[in-house]
Amino acid sequence: MWVHPIDSRYGSELMRAIFRQENRIKLMARVEALYARALAERGFIPKEAAEAIERAAEEVTPEDVRAEEALVKHETMALVRAISKRAGRYGEYLHLGLTSNDVLDTVMGVQIRQAGSIILRSSASLLEKIVKRGEESLDIVCLGRTHGVVADPIPLSMKFALWSYYVRRSIARFMDSLNEASVGKLRGAVGTAAASIELGIKDPLEVESEVLAALGLSPPEITTQVVPRDRLAHLILSMSLFSSALDTIANEIRNLHRTEISEVKEHFEERQVGSSTMPHKMNPINSEKVCGLARLMRSLAIAALENVVLEHERDLTNSSVERAILPEAFLILEEQINTLSAVIENLEIDRVRIGENLEKYGDIALSERLMIWLVKKGLGRQEAHEIVRSISLRSHRSGRRFIDEVLADESLSKILRPEEIEAIFSPRSYLGLGRELSIEEFRAAREFLKEVLLNG
């Protein structure tokens, strides 16, 4: 039975496999083997030693490492001892000139790169679905809302365009931070590479670059015993921003799903149950999950920021935190992306209800337009604003429709003809650049997707 939801409930098995101990040990062993090979090619250790270490690194098991760790209480030394035993006499050449975090930070960089690729693929799919549904909605006019109150009308596509923009920017930020965090280091105890130089290695940074390149990583400019943790904080922060963007989208869907609005709805399966006691319930549970997980993701950003501060050339306060927040961050964000992707793909858009709401509130939604027409007729802006505000207040208090109050207002009848009032209260002709802006965002998103898929 699992304890933490990310063990089973959140994220994919593919993502979980990256952060499992089996993969961590496999990657640690590979770093050791690649480093031994680089030393052998430069004549610092026998070629036979590198071959023996490579074979041992392939054969070592998590059980081997756990048995050693029970004795020495040190994760990296347990791996070194386990590989050394399998390598026989050549095991003495293992880990020569390295320190534990050379291996651990490099492995973390590989895990970040592997996990990041999954996030990029799933987020590209989400963006593509948002764009597709947005392009399908270009002809739908709906009510805009600010403060939860009716505002100007908008094309429904503008909601999708804004969501596209959120996700597109989130992916771009994530890609930048992913590249920054996909680093390793092989510079020894305090980052000076002194041990390697003492062994006679003239250019230890060349060795480092070669090994890191084989792992798909870059070297940092300078380190202590660990890679500076601002890189990891930047990554988690970008993921938290991404999570909050998804929260924003899911929250909007939840609000539009409300019974009294009911313009878009999450798809509800035929045999799905919404409540154990109220049979009619069809709740937006997937959007709610996306919003709930965002709260957890934002808390991880605080922990990542705390980890930036380490004492002198390092301490161990970051280690336990990173073991928890790194897999959590990737699994939570993946779950949010995949969940929202399914919501968007199957989102039910109720054109009838959108039309009913527009018919019911479309007149008050055009109060700004009425004000602008009065200005065009020669009134001052402030004067026009006060006239329209007074009429809307009368409408609110009397319960009569705003348009009826406008038609009944004697002062307005001297300024606007009935056919002009009819033209004013036509929502479809007061959309500004909403449709054009949507189309432009969808075009930009499709171009961006080409870049993501090319680099991802």
Question: For the segment 140-166, what is each residue's pLDDT rounded down to a tens digit?
Answer: 999 999 999 999 999 999 999 999 999
**Is residue 430 one of the residues assigned to a domain?**
no
Statement to judge: residues 412 and 445 lie in one domain:
no
> What SS3 state is found at 316?
coil
Statement to judge: residues 89 and 108 lie in one domain:
no
Give the pair of three-digit tokens for residue 391: 């009429």
> Which CATH number goes with the domain that contains 4?
1.10.275.10
Statement to judge: residues 277 and 292 lie in one domain:
yes
Give the pair of three-digit tokens for residue 159: 């909601």
- 301 CB-side CA count, 13 A: 16
How far apart are the C-alpha atoms of 345 and 350, rounded to whole Å?
15
> Which CATH number goes with the domain that contains 398?
1.10.40.30
Residue 240 appears among annotated catalytic residues = no
Q: State pLDDT tens for residues 100-128.
A: 999 999 999 999 999 999 999 999 999 99
Q: How many distinct structural domains can be found in the chain? A: 3
Statement to judge: residues 85 and 111 lie in one domain:
no
Q: 15 falls in which pLDDT band (50, 70, 90)?
A: very high
Statement to judge: residues 344 and 257 lie in one domain:
yes
Give the range of the structural domain holding residue 409, as residue numbers without chain letter: 363-424
CA 55 to chain centre: 39
Statement to judge: residues 239 and 344 lie in one domain:
yes
Q: What pLDDT is recorded for position 453? A: 81
Statement to judge: residues 335 and 246 lie in one domain:
yes
Q: State pLDDT tens for residues 214-256.
A: 999 999 999 999 999 999 999 999 999 999 999 999 999 999 9
**Residue 151 gets which letter from DSSP?**
E
Mark which of 95, 116, 149 sits at the end of a domain: 95
Widest distance between CA atoms in the chain:
104
Residue 95 appears among annotated catalytic residues = no
Statement to judge: residues 121 and 90 lie in one domain:
no
**Is residue 215 one of the residues assigned to a domain?**
yes
**Is residue 429 one of the residues assigned to a domain?**
no
How far apart are the C-alpha atoms of 59 and 150, rounded to whole Å?
66
**Is residue 431 one of the residues assigned to a domain?**
no
CB 256 within 8 A of CB 145: no
Q: Which of 4, 74, 267, 275 is catalytic?
A: 275
Q: What percent of the chain has pLDDT over 70?
A: 100
Statement to judge: residues 115 and 209 lie in one domain:
yes
**Is residue 452 one of the residues assigned to a domain?**
yes
Whose tokens are 């329209």? That residue is 388
Whose tokens are 């921003």? That residue is 241
Whose tokens are 């098991």? That residue is 61
CB 290 within 8 A of CB 246: yes
Statement to judge: residues 277 and 350 lie in one domain:
yes
Residue 86 clears pLDDT 70, i.e. is over it = yes
> Which CATH number goes with the domain that contains 345?
1.20.200.10
Q: State pLDDT tens for residues 167-219.
A: 999 999 999 999 999 999 999 999 999 999 999 999 999 999 999 999 999 99
Statement to judge: residues 307 and 204 lie in one domain:
yes
**Is residue 32 one of the residues assigned to a domain?**
yes
Residue among 258, 241, 353 nearest 297 (CA): 241
Quote the mean pLDDT of the chain: 95
Statement to judge: residues 385 and 442 lie in one domain:
no
Q: Which of 147, 276, 280, 320 is catalytic?
A: 147
Looking at per-residue confidence, does 279 or 203 come out higher?
A: 203
**Is residue 296 one of the residues assigned to a domain?**
yes
How far apart are the C-alpha atoms of 151 and 413, rounded to whole Å?
25
